[in-house]
């Protein structure tokens, strides 16, 4: 029997009611975990290294458990739960293929079909953190026109069936264009879920309540460790404001997480158990994203990049957080095995980036553009699909395919170092030159042709690969009979 759209909505509504009964909810989540284990580890249809499949399983189920815990504690605003069951399950997941038949067809093929976009709608920020890629003075800060922002979010949904948008900065809460703020975006596109990177300092009780009422936004607050480390990078008094913001979010019932940047100076402390226990225990964070400092943006500094040895040590601590502590934790680089390598340039299941000018780039960490979405694409009758078809995007995807994405089993390149620009820089530089990519910002313009920059970054990448090669070979390619995986 075929269940129609109305029927699916009713199922989601009934599901939401049933979730109020703890016993049923526990069984539902247990059943979900088993299904995920079967799909990822036992079936493993793309024949990826079994260790990588296991990590994916941990990551997905850790997020589910964090959500389950919040429901049990009754600490989420009704609108958040309602969004997950009515919008995400009812509207998006159950009806996806019917609503977006073209995207469903493309998803089956091995073509570019990103599942999300990261957008920085404004360069404006009330802080000036060391090494920030937004890198502007207040006077020169640029903001994206509302009509462009609105059109992009609509178009990615209609063309790709994408319902997930990451909003980055500057500080998104300062976005203003044509009388609209970032809340107008969240409200208008309430079939999208938004992850919003924010410095947290502007989340007072009113902002927290607005986010709770919306239900489709999860802030990721930037911290650098405890007070000393956070204030050292972000400015004096910032940590105290973050702690207040977290209290406000908790009180309002908003699902939130943290994000941080590992540098050579803080990396040995940033993931220690005290820090993690504080934020994931007492403070109630549900997820964490970690970025390793990149020498782009304001004042690039190679001495802030973590060393290859630190990167290796980080891998062990990250596995401890994911497997022993059950935390949804993703390192944008070391987490490569979880995403089947680099996800940039609109790869299938991946993403692309648009900045405050409307420059279209393969990734937040690749400051090279293929043009402006308004003047080079929309005004010429082109769409987001045409961005994916530019030589630069295509050549990056080709690199990804050859490095790991389309390789099978033992041939797959080391995905702990998956990044073309950071870990394989001379190859990246060649692709950028051959594809006529346009460097964005002074640092990229300088480094594009700076032999020393290119050689130094390439060397760091090589050493990081050497430092992690044994982990990739031994920890991910365990030869195991999948039928013996315990799914009881």
Q: How far is the CB of 364 from ligand SF4 (least distance, A)?
A: 7
| Tokens describing residue 385 | 């699909």
| 329-331/164-167 β-pairing | unpaired
DSSP H helices in 410-450 = 420-423, 425-434, 442-447
- Shorter beta-carbon distance to ligand SF4: residue 90 or 131: 131
Span 57-86, contacts to ligand SF4 by CB under 6 A: none
Q: How far is the CB of 334 from ligand SF4 (least distance, A)?
A: 10
99 neighbors 333 (Cβ within 8 angstroms) = no
| Tokens describing residue 230 | 């956070």
Task: Concatenate the DSSP letters of all residues of 114-131 into one string.
Answer: -SEEEE--B---S---TT
Instruction: Tell me the three state secondary structure of residue 382.
Output: coil
Q: How far is the CB of 375 from ligand SF4 (least distance, A)?
A: 25
Which has the closest alpha carbon to 375: 119, 148, 141, 122?
148
Q: Using CB under 6 A, count the residues that bind ligand SF4.
A: 12
* Whether the bond into 85 is cis, omega within 30 of 0: no
- Shorter beta-carbon distance to ligand SF4: residue 256 or 368: 368
Span 410-439, contacts to ligand SF4 by CB under 6 A: 418-422
Which x/- pattern over 352-381 shows residues binding ligand SF4 (rule: CB under 6 A)?
-----------x-xx---------------
Cα(244)–Cα(76) distance, integer angstroms = 18
Q: How far is the CB of 360 from ligand SF4 (least distance, A)?
A: 14
- Shorter beta-carbon distance to ligand SF4: residue 66 or 396: 396
The three-state DSSP-derived secondary structure of 337-395 is: HHHCCCCCCCCCCCEEEECCCCEEECECCECEECCEHHHHHHHHCCCHHHHHCCHHHHH
**Phi and psi angles of residue 9, each rounded to the nearest 5 degrees, phi first:** -65, -40
**Phi and psi angles of residue 217, each rounded to the nearest 5 degrees, phi first:** -130, 130
Which has the closest alpha carbon to 174: 201, 195, 152?
201
403 lies in the site for ligand SF4, by CB under 6 A: no
Q: Is the dihedral of CA 224, 225, 230, 232 positive or negative?
A: negative
Which x/- pattern over 229-268 shows residues binding ligand SF4 (rule: CB under 6 A)?
----------------------------------------
Q: Is 16 exposed, middle or buried (0-12, 13-18, 19+ CB in 10 A)?
A: middle
Q: How far is the CB of 308 from ligand SF4 (least distance, A)?
A: 16
133 lies in the site for ligand SF4, by CB under 6 A: no
Q: Is 282 exposed, middle or buried (0-12, 13-18, 19+ CB in 10 A)?
A: exposed
- Shorter beta-carbon distance to ligand SF4: residue 49 or 215: 49
- Shorter beta-carbon distance to ligand SF4: residue 427 or 469: 427
Q: Which stretch binds ligand SF4 (CB under 6 A): 24-32, 49-57, 229-237, 338-346?
A: 338-346
Q: How far is the CB of 290 from ligand SF4 (least distance, A)?
A: 12
- Shorter beta-carbon distance to ligand SF4: residue 88 or 338: 338
| Tokens describing residue 233 | 């990078």
Cα(163)–Cα(166) distance, integer angstroms = 10
Residue choice 85, 287, 332, 472 for contact with ligand SF4 (CB under 6 A):
332
Please tell me what DSSP assigns to residue 306: P
Q: How far is the CB of 462 from ligand SF4 (least distance, A)?
A: 16
399 lies in the site for ligand SF4, by CB under 6 A: no
Q: What are the CA-CA distances from residue 448 to residues 69, 424, 430, 463 (Å)?
A: 47, 14, 10, 21
What residues pair up with 219 in beta bridges, in sequence order? 196
The helix (H) or strand (E) run that includes residue 177 is strand 176-177
Residue choice 344, 373, 444, 457 for contact with ligand SF4 (CB under 6 A):
344
- Shorter beta-carbon distance to ligand SF4: residue 76 or 343: 343
Q: How far is the CB of 342 from ligand SF4 (least distance, A)?
A: 3
| Tokens describing residue 96 | 């996806």
Q: How far is the CB of 422 from ligand SF4 (least distance, A)?
A: 6
- Shorter beta-carbon distance to ligand SF4: residue 300 or 418: 418
Which x/- pattern over 274-313 shows residues binding ligand SF4 (rule: CB under 6 A)?
----------------------------------------
- Shorter beta-carbon distance to ligand SF4: residue 206 or 402: 402
- Shorter beta-carbon distance to ligand SF4: residue 212 or 343: 343
Cα(127)–Cα(138) distance, integer angstroms = 10
Q: Is 419 exposed, middle or buried (0-12, 13-18, 19+ CB in 10 A)?
A: buried
- Shorter beta-carbon distance to ligand SF4: residue 33 or 427: 427
Q: How far is the CB of 168 from ligand SF4 (least distance, A)?
A: 13
- Shorter beta-carbon distance to ligand SF4: residue 332 or 356: 332
Residue choice 255, 342, 370, 384 for contact with ligand SF4 (CB under 6 A):
342
Q: How far is the CB of 333 from ligand SF4 (least distance, A)?
A: 6
Q: How far is the CB of 249 from ligand SF4 (least distance, A)?
A: 27
**Phi and psi angles of residue 351, each rounded to the nearest 5 degrees, phi first:** -155, 180
List residues near ligand SF4 by CB under 6 A. 332, 342-344, 363, 365-366, 418-422
């Amino acid at each position: 029997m075929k269940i129609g759209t109305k029927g699916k909505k009713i199922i989601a509504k009934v599901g939401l009611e049933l979730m109020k009964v703890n016993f049923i909810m526990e069984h539902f989540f247990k059943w979900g975990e088993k299904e995920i284990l079967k799909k990822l580890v036992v079936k493993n249809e793309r024949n990826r290294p079994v260790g990588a499949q296991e990590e994916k399983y941990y990551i997905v189920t850790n997020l589910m458990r964090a959500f389950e815990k919040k429901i049990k504690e009754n600490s989420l605003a009704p609108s958040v739960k309602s969004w997950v069951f009515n919008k995400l399950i009812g509207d998006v997941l159950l009806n996806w293929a019917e609503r977006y038949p073209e995207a469903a067809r493309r998803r089956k093929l091995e073509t570019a079909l990103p599942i999300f976009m990261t957008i920085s709608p404004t360069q404006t920020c009330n802080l000036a953190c060391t090494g920030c890629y937004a890198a502007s003075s207040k006077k020169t800060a640029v903001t994206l026109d509302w009509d462009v922002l609105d059109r992009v979010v609509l178009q990615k949904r209609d063309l790709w069936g994408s319902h997930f948008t990451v909003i980055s900065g500057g500080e998104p809460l300062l976005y203003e264009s044509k009388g609209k703020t970032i809340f107008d975006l969240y409200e208008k596109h309430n079939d999208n879920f938004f992850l919003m990177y924010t410095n947290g300092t502007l989340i007072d009780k009113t902002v927290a309540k607005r986010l709770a009422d919306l239900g489709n936004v999860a802030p990721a607050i930037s911290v650098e460790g405890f007070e000393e480390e956070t204030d050292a990078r972000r400015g004096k008094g910032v940590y105290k404001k973050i702690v207040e913001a977290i209290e406000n979010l908790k009180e309002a019932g908003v699902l939130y997480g943290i994000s941080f940047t590992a540098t050579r100076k803080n990396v040995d402390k940033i993931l220690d158990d005290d820090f993690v226990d504080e934020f994931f225990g007492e403070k109630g964070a549900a997820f964490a994203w970690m970025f390793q400092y990149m020498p782009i943006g304001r004042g690039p500094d190679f001495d802030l990049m973590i060393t290859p040895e630190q990167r290796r040590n980080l891998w062990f601590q990250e596995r401890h957080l994911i497997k022993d502590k059950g935390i949804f934790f993703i390192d944008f680089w070391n987490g490569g095995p979880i995403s089947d390598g680099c996800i940039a340039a609109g790869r299938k299941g991946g993403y692309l980036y648009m900045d405050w000018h409307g420059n279209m780039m393969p990734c937040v960490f690749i400051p090279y553009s293929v043009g402006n979405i308004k003047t080079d694409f929309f005004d010429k009758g082109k769409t987001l699909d045409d961005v994916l078809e530019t030589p630069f995007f295509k050549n990056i995807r080709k690199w990804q395919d050859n490095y790991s994405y389309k390789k099978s089993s033992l041939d797959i390149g080391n995905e702990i170092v998956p990044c073309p620009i950071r870990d394989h820089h001379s190859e990246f530089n060649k692709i950028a030159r051959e594809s006529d990519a346009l460097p964005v910002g002074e640092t990229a313009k300088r480094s594009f042709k700076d032999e020393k920059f290119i050689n130094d970054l390439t060397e760091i990448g090589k050493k990081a690969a050497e430092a992690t090669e044994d982990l990739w070979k031994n920890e991910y390619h365990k030869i195991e009979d999948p039928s013996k995986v315990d799914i009881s």
